[in-house]
Structure 1
């Protein structure tokens, strides 16, 4: 069982579980591994690119991690505030490793370290290797010319923006019969607060902003992709065509349609799958989703002769299955959507632009495109626990799950899983009758609490 890494890197309360000391050790461990990997590739010190979101602890962790990496012999390039997918592109552009300092959708007191290489998140085996080095308590320190430097690399932002805009040689996204498209954008006071509106405006979209004044403490605070009430109200008030919300590091996005209704990752995948099929680029006529995606998505795709493969929760596992099965489109209900013909990771900005393209292609409002997608009642229940492993191995819990599966039959699903980033057991139930699944969810939650006692 891994100690430091969860499903999306290392995460915890900044200054407590994720301390400056730990960040130093992680940077130093990366240096040890990257020097070995890059020794035949570059002259001078191997490179490490570092990006961050807007939370107050990012500077502390960036300085500590950079010091550990430089002490171990890496040349560290500080890219400043940057979305995770932008840093992924930078690492692919330069053929190097990177670390994104962010806790994604969590509030400011949390932070995290996501390690990238050549555009991709590290596989589990590579993270396990880094963890082993960190926990060994050894430190690899260079001397003389072997010591690395820490350099400003603020041009990373421009490199990413030019790459995105390069996908639109006409300089705009054309909507038939509309002179301008109005979007209300909520970057969640996070990493996309400058880049995302800039790109859309260059492409001819009118952008109205909410929650775009980060102060180190307000990232994801009642805003962004998990809190869309302000965005939905603003879309209706301004008669906007769309609302777009990002999480703290902008690797996911959620839409609000012209009627103020939330459009999650499942519906975004459904619309873009039809668009990709029309363009003839939906490989295998299949998409990849996770066990959390609604049965309604699967039903809708099947009606449109598109297949869906499921994998475990986590965009890294979606990507693994996409690469293994040669799929071009996949994602999660949470808004992580991967378009492998465009990017190597979930990218909120790329997703936004692709959805806008799809809507322009069909010539219908987003609300009309999504109203045919059924949505089974679904309930998510998080139970705080002390020992996730003990709960998941409990015979009583396993027996209760099997009983619930029998009660739901083919018209519903139950999923129990430990959170990869928090001390929680997540319960998901789906079925045709909301009262029934709510009752079952409460029964399971009570049994989880007893199993943890």
Structure 2
């Protein structure tokens, strides 16, 4: 698709993603859900809920979306600064037509994005996204404008965020009393929610990067800059630390020894916990093609089955919903516990890990000690055209040769980013030098073909 990638419409604010784009998206959704809508006295118009992260441009896009929605005759409900999973929760719990999250996730502040959430709380169907793209590109705005009393309303809906916070607290069955927990809020959306949740559950909560100013979101903070939390956990002698990204749909943990616990390790810990209690539906953990070789070997040793999807939490979510599996996720920290949510939820993941620690009466380091991750090298390669590279015969021949060389103890993966003009070239093997040589050979082949940007 032209605008919507694996995680929404994303790009530099006021360059790739403008207020005009947001207005048109709002116009389309307001009109789309108004058709065939049967209202009542309490809800005379379709209701669309909007959340945003702490980027300066999020406020601009929020107003443009609300203007588009109301001018088409639907109502816009504003959650204000909140997390992506909270929007998903509100769509389901409060029967909204759909939800919108304004965020570029882990990207720097000058980028932004618009994520659309369908009526079931999962990413919106692609056929609707295609219709939105067609409308954005039309020269004429041919959708009807609401008139007089048909113009929609904009309503404050901070109560929805509060309900979501209460829901998170209600999912915990144990008190976290005397557990010392560190939180890195990435100066993003979780700063409004995370500490309140863990305080309510009785934890001793320590927080960093919880003072957003519109331009410091993800800046040397959060799940993509985990070194800050590693040092914080060590310095304060904490039992565990959790780092979120800008919209808090990801969580990366740090154990009591200061070791990073990524999404693969979280899947391993939670998968074993659920299996031991007979709660791992169909004995399956859903992963993506980016998960580490070590995870698969560890799951096999535990007698747990696994399946791979494309990269993107929407593909993981679909697999979970289609087949009724319990848990799935990505190495990057998007973890979905299908019993509780339809999308990745960083704060919920942190609750689940802490609860496992409390119930098992052990520390986080012990819970992932049996998982031995393979060395992995990942390089983001800027190219002129992603599809051209992936169909180039010389590049494909090089990839085949490299995979033959790695054999059964390694692998490569070359895939296009869904949000950036880059190819992600990854290699895994027990020998890190072999990994690096494999990536170097593939990147060199792309360069020799004249396809580097």
TM over 0.5: yes
1:97-119 CA distance string (max 9 Å, x none): 11100000001000000001231
- Aligned match of 2:242: 244
Match of 2:130 in 1: 128
In structure 1, C-alpha distance between the alignment counterparts of 2:63 and 2:70, rounded to whole Å: 10
Aligned to 1:52: 52
Segments of structure 2 that go 5 or more residues without pairing to the other structure are: none
How many Å apart are 1:222 and its aligned residue?
0.5
Secondary structure of 1:126's counterpart equals helix
Q: Distance in 2 between matches of 1:438 and 1:235?
A: 31
Which runs of 4 or more aligned residues in structure 1 lie more than 3 Å from their structure 2 counterparts after TM superposition? 37-43
- Aligned residues of 2:39 and 2:46 also touching (Cα < 8 A): no
Cα offsets for 1:192-226 (capped at 9, x unmatched): 01200100010011111111100000000010001
Matches within 5 A, 1:291-306: 291-306=289-304
Is the contact made by 1:391 and 1:451 (CA closer than 8 Å) also made in structure 2? no
Q: Which residue of the partner structure matches residue 11 of structure 1?
A: 10
Equivalent residue, structure 2, for 1:159: 163
Counterpart-to-counterpart distance in 1, 2:131 and 2:123? 14
Taking the aligned partners of 1:218 and 1:39, their CA distance within structure 2 comes to 44
Aligned pairs for 1:100-119 within 5 A: 100-118=101-119, 119=121
Secondary structure of the structure 2 residue equivalent to 1:18: coil
Between 1:159-168 and 1:136-145, the stretch displaced more is 136-145
Aligned partner of residue 189 in structure 2, secondary structure: coil
Q: Deviations over 1:15-44 (max 9, x none)?
A: 100011111111111122222264468841
**1:200-349 alignment to 2 at 5 Å?**
200-349=198-347
Give 3-state SS (helix, strand or coil) of 1:16's partner. Answer: coil
CA distance in 2, matches of 1:289, 1:399: 27
Judging changes above 3 Å, is the alpha-carbon distance between structure 1 residues 40 and 392 closer, same or farther for their aligned structure 2 residues?
Answer: farther
Quick check: 1:95–1:117 contact (8 Å CA) kept in 2? Answer: no
Aligned to 1:147: 151
Q: Hey, what does 1:31 align to over in structure 2?
A: 30
More deviation, 183-192/269-278:
269-278
Residue aligned with 1:192, SS? helix
Per-residue deviation, residues 322-380 of structure 1 (Å, max 9, x unmatched): 12222110000000000000111110111000111111222221111112101111111
Is the Cα–Cα contact under 8 Å of residues 381 and 443 in structure 2 kept in the other structure? yes
Question: Where does residue 417 of structure 2 map in the other structure?
Answer: 419
SS in 2 for 1:204: coil
Across the aligned residues of Structure 1 and Structure 2, the Cα RMSD in angstroms comes to 1.5
Higher mean alpha-carbon deviation, 395-404 vs 283-292, is at 395-404
Q: How many pairs are equivalent?
A: 446
Structure-to-structure mapping, 1:186-197, within 5 angstroms: 186-197=184-195
- 1:63-78 paired onto structure 2 within 5 Å: 63-78=63-78
Instruction: Check conservation: 1:397, 1:451, Cα contact below 8 A.
Output: no
> Is the contact made by 1:103 and 1:110 (CA closer than 8 Å) also made in structure 2?
yes
**Cross-structure match for 2:91:** 91
| Alpha-carbon separation, structure 2, partners of 1:330 and 1:192 | 22
User: 8 Å contact 1:381–1:441 — kept in the other structure?
Assistant: yes
Q: After TM superposition, give the deviation of residue 142 of structure 1 in Å.
A: 1.7
Residue 368 of structure 2 is matched in structure 1 by 370
Q: CA deviation at 1:387?
A: 1.5
**Mapped contact 1:173–1:356 kept (Cα < 8 A):** no
- Offset at residue 389 of structure 1 (A): 1.8
How far apart are the structure 1 equivalents of 2:289 and 2:140? 40
Residues 70, 151 of structure 2: 8 Å contact kept: yes
For residue 164 of structure 1, report the CA deviation from its aligned partner: 1.6
Q: What is the TM-score normalised by the length of structure 2?
A: 0.96
Q: What is the distance in 1 between the residues matched to 2:389 and 2:400? A: 15
Write the distance in 2 (CA, Å) between the matches of 1:230 and 1:203.
25
Judge which range, 20-29 or 120-129, deviates more. Answer: 120-129
Q: Deviations over 1:211-246 (max 9, x none)?
A: 110000000001000101111111111110001100
Q: What SS class does the counterpart of residue 252 from structure 2 fall into?
A: strand
Tell me how far 1:166 sits from its aligned partner. Answer: 2.2
CA distance in 2, matches of 1:265, 1:113: 24
Q: Trace 1:370-389 onto structure 2 (pairs within 5 A).
A: 370-389=368-387
Inter-partner Cα distance in structure 2 for 1:230 and 1:6: 30
Given that 1:275 and 1:361 are in contact with CA atoms closer than 8 Å, whether structure 2 keeps it comes out as no
SS of residue in 2 equivalent to 1:193: helix
SS at match of 1:21: helix
Gaps of 5+ in 1: none
